[in-house]
Amino acid sequence: VLWEKASGKPVANAIVWQDRRTAERCRALRAEGAEPEIRSRTGLLLDPYFSATKLEWLLRDAGLRRRAERGELAAGTVDSWLIARLTGGRAHVTDHTNASRTMLYSLASGAWDPHLASRFAIPHSLLATIMPSSGVVGETNAELLGTALPIAGIAGDQQAALFGQGCTRPGM
């Protein structure tokens, strides 16, 4: 999702994981020999399933690119957008499980990879702060639910399911 920081409103339609519109871009990167480096940095195959080429595609729009470069926009997986909306924009966060599915996250550093952000021309200001999956990351606007409530967990669906099945250590 790509949204306006001030209002929380999307500035383009969300692009879901099944969308293959950036398949050609991935093929071109593979032909350039980029896949081994991307895989070594992220652990991911070069595929349009992941967010990097989708965000790159959205930023082809010159107006959106200018707004992104001015720091007016935010981007993220649905968890980031939902938390931003629930907190009235006070929290632009994600967790490591969701960040690791973007093709912009470095397994070595556990942070956004500046080299990959540059490769895909993604301004760092668009990206969420990466937080632990468990712990308070923000508070809902009191007007939404009648009181401010802590938001104390973030996990991607497959990662959450793995944890739910009791896989809590490497190799499980």
pLDDT in tens, 71-98: 999 999 999 999 999 999 999 999 999 9
Question: pTM of the full predicted structure?
Answer: 0.90
**Could you report the per-residue pLDDT of 113-137, keeping only the tens digit for each?**
999 999 999 999 999 999 998 899 9
CB 95 within 8 A of CB 132: yes
The pLDDT value given to residue 86: 96
Look up residue 129 and give its two tokens: 């702060």
Exposure of 151 in the CB half-sphere (CA atoms within 13 A): 27
The answer, yes or no, to whether residue 158 has pLDDT greater than 80, is no
The pLDDT value given to residue 66: 97
**Could you report the per-residue pLDDT of 2-14, keeping only the tens digit for each?**
999 999 999 999 9
Helix (H) / strand (E) element for 26: namely: helix 23-31
**Residue type at position 117:** A
